[in-house]
């Protein structure tokens, strides 16, 4: 790899990192505004015009508050927990293709940090690693409520990872590749995977809600039963990292859903657009549309949160094991049969 | 090669910490790090699929369940049964015999010579899948049936017998 390539990749990493953080910051603002709208309130409107500086004020507050490490807590692991949560949330974006290749002069810029040939499994690995942040933090707090929250998080993540993996297998039968770049390219124009895999998409969506610990699956931090769940003992920026990680995870899982099922950066008539406004213009339009789709999904996450009440824990387990997994397996079988009949 | 030695050192270092750590939860956390170094070994051998599967299945699922069980059991020093000297003595002899066997086996195979892969791309998903479903189809299917039967057995053990439960 040449030096120029490394510099380009480095700049891309920094940009994606900054975008993830800014989106996570403004997701907190959007969530409050949307919650306010759903409950017929006004929402934050004091800091800056329309309360736009509210996330900055919150961030400042998080940094400046007193940091408390409980006396009987395991102090090293108490710090490792939130660090791991935010780290795993941030590394997931490395394999997502944000757009087609940009051509500037003689340089071709790939709008993807790493095109590894097991890309989708990488995302999966990062997701499965994410639970350690919650578990370690919950255990290290030395608090019964935190421990219960951590244990709930672990069993919930493991259960829903299975149906998530099974829903992806049906998709892989169609695409025949694990690379996210190739999956994105196959959905050229309007050939989006959601058209051929609607059931798989709904399964994936439900599992994404469970993996990001969002309502109706936010049992690890169910405040009516567990005070604050796994982050009961946390204060200041360590609490901030846990909350922030949740919003980054929401952004990344929306991006993964858009890439896998909703055509990534593709849109109908993209060849016509490329012919009329130039290749680079079409690429930039594609990136913009990808982010528009991601924002729609983030809005959907919030919409569901303020509409549907939380499940009970046994209902959550029943849904995961007795409903989603059989549907996912049936989906794989049907997809396999249809592919065999078509290719015959 | 230097990367290999560094990672190999880390693997051994963390696995020693697994057995010397006083707190069982710390020991599991060191085990997680050990498995992470194994993932790096697989990547160094260009076996990307094995690496990521090791990452997802062992680090992401099995060890989470280990940690889960340990957190529920809440083991600590007070509840630990003191081991009698006879058991310690037997363990030392057993472990020593195992070590001698392993060393002898490695020496007999001449495994200290580095293995050179005929095809460096063997570990990629496409090639691995073709090998598994063509050359080794029968062992592959048999092992999947074995896993399925283990799963059925676990469910059977977990469900209550309707006759005795009533």
* Candidate from B25, B55, B65 with C-beta closest to A139: B25
Residue A102's φ and ψ, nearest 5 degrees, are -90, 140
Task: Please say if the pLDDT value at position B122 is more than 80.
Answer: no
Closest-CA residue of chain A to B69: A151
Domain boundaries, chain A: 3-52+70-343
Give the minimum alpha-carbon distance from B6 to chain A in angstroms, rounded to a whole number: 23
The partner residues of A108 in beta bridges, in order of sequence, read A103
- Can you list the domains of chain B with their CATH numbers? 1-77 (1.20.120.1200)
Specify whether the CB–CB gap between B50 and B42 falls below 8 A.
yes
Give residues with Cβ within 8 angstroms of A158, minimum separation 6: A131, B61, B64, B65
Look at residue A244 in the predicted model and tell me its pLDDT.
86
A132 in contact with B, Cβ within 8 Å: yes
DSSP letters, A161-182, are HHHHHHHHHHHHHHH----HHH
Contacts of B53 in chain A (CB under 8 A): 121
Nearest to A189 by CA among A267, A277, A278: A267
Residues of chain A with pLDDT under 50: none
Look at residue B93 in the predicted model and tell me its pLDDT.
93
Task: Please say if the pLDDT value at position B97 is more than 90.
Answer: yes
Cα dihedral: A17, A22, A27, A33 (round 10): 180
* Candidate from A125, A139, A154 with C-beta closest to B64: A154
* Candidate from B52, B64, B65 with C-beta closest to A125: B52
Look at residue A310 in the predicted model and tell me its pLDDT.
81
Choose the mutation target among A128, A153, A325 for the interface with B, i.e. most B CBs under 10 Å: A128
Nearest to A191 by CA among A269, A98, A100: A269
pLDDT band for B98, please (50, 70, 90 cuts).
very high
| CB contact (8 A) between residue B68 and residue A154 | yes
Task: Please say if the pLDDT value at position B160 is more than 80.
Answer: no
pLDDT band for B145, please (50, 70, 90 cuts).
very high
Contacts of B36 in chain A (CB under 8 A): none
User: For residue range A198-216, what is the model confidence (pLDDT) as tens digits?
Assistant: 888 898 998 888 888 777 8
Give the minimum alpha-carbon distance from A318 to chain B in angstroms, rounded to a whole number: 15
DSSP letters, A70-85, are -TTS-HHHHHHHHHHH
Residue A207, Cα to own-chain centre: how many angstroms? 11
Specify whether the CB–CB gap between A310 and A215 falls below 8 A.
yes
Give the minimum alpha-carbon distance from A303 to chain B in angstroms, rounded to a whole number: 30
pLDDT band for B146, please (50, 70, 90 cuts).
very high
| CB contact (8 A) between residue A125 and residue B125 | no
Contacts of A182 in chain B (CB under 8 A): none
A135 in contact with B, Cβ within 8 Å: yes
User: For residue range B28-86, what is the model confidence (pLDDT) as tens digits?
Assistant: 889 888 998 988 888 888 778 888 888 888 888 888 888 888 877 765 555 566 677 88
| CB contact (8 A) between residue A151 and residue B68 | yes
| CB contact (8 A) between residue B59 and residue A129 | yes
Specify whether the CB–CB gap between B21 and B30 falls below 8 A.
yes
CA dist A329 and B68 (Å) reads: 27
DSSP letters, B1-67, are -HHHHHHHHHHHHHHHHHHH-SSHHHHHHHHHHHHHHHHHHHHHTT-HHHHHHIIIIIIIIIHHHHH
CA dist B10 and B13 (Å) reads: 5
Contacts of A124 in chain B (CB under 8 A): 52, 56, 60
Look at residue B24 in the predicted model and tell me its pLDDT.
80
Look at residue B149 in the predicted model and tell me its pLDDT.
93
A residues 254..273 contacting B (CB < 8 A):
none
CA dist A6 and A28 (Å) reads: 33
User: For residue range A270-286, what is the model confidence (pLDDT) as tens digits?
Assistant: 777 777 777 777 888 88
| CB contact (8 A) between residue A125 and residue B61 | no
CA dist A325 and A299 (Å) reads: 27
Interface predicted TM-score (ipTM) over 0.85: no
């Amino acid at each position: 790899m040449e030096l120029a390539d490394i510099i380009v990749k480095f700049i891309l990493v920094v940009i994606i990192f900054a975008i993830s953080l800014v989106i996570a910051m403004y997701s907190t603002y959007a969530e409050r505004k949307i919650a306010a709208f759903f409950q017929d309130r006004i929402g934050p409107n004091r800091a800056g015009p329309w309360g736009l500086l509210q996330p900055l004020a919150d961030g400042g507050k998080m940094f400046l508050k007193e940091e408390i490490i409980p006396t009987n807590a395991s102090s090293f692991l108490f710090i490792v927990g939130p660090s791991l949560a935010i780290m795993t949330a941030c590394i997931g974006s490395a394999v997502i293709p944000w757009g087609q290749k940009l051509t500037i002069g003689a340089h071709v810029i790939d709008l993807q940090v790493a095109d590894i040939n097991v890309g989708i499994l990488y995302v999966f690995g990062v997701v499965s690693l994410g639970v350690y942040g919650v578990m370690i933090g919950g255990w290290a707090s030395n608090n019964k409520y935190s421990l219960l929250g951590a244990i709930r998080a672990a069993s919930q993540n493991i259960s829903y990872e299975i149906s998530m993996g099974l829903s992806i297998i049906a998709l892989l039968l169609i695409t025949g590749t694990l690379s996210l770049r190739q999956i994105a390219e196959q959905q050229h124009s309007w050939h989006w995977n959601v058209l051929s895999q609607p059931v798989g998409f709904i399964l994936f969506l439900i599992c994404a809600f469970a993996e990001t610990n969002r309502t109706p699956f936010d049992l690890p931090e169910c405040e009516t039963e567990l005070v604050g769940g796994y982050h009961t003992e946390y204060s200041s920026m360590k609490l901030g990292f846990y909350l922030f990680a949740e919003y980054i995870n929401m952004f990344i899982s929306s991006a993964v859903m858009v890439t896998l099922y909703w055509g990534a950066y593709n849109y109908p008539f993209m060849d016509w657009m490329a012919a009329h406004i130039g290749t680079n213009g079409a690429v930039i339009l594609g990136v913009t549309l990808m982010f528009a789709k991601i924002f729609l999904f983030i809005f959907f996450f919030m919409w569901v949160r303020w509409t549907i009440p939380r499940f009970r824990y046994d209902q959550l387990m029943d849904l995961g094991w007795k409903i989603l997994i059989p549907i996912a397996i049936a989906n794989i079988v049907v997809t396999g049969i249809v592919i065999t009949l078509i290719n015959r | 090669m230097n990367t290999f030695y560094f990672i190999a050192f880390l693997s051994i270092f963390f696995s020693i910490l697994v057995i010397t750590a006083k707190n069982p939860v710390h020991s599991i956390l060191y085990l997680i790090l050990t498995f992470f170094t194994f993932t790096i070994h697989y990547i160094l051998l260009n076996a990307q699929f094995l690496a990521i599967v090791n990452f997802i299945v062992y680090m992401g699922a099995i060890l989470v369940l280990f940690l889960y069980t340990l957190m529920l059991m809440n083991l600590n020093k007070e509840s630990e049964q003191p081991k009698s000297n006879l058991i310690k003595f037997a363990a030392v002899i057993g472990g020593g015999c195992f070590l001698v066997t392993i060393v002898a086996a490695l020496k007999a195979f001449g495994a200290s010579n580095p293995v050179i892969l005929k095809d460096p791309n063997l570990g990629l998903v496409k090639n691995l899948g073709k090998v598994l479903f063509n050359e080794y189809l029968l062992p592959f299917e048999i092992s999947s049936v074995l896993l399925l039967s283990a799963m059925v057995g676990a469910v059977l053990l977990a469900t209550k017998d309707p006759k005795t439960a009533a």
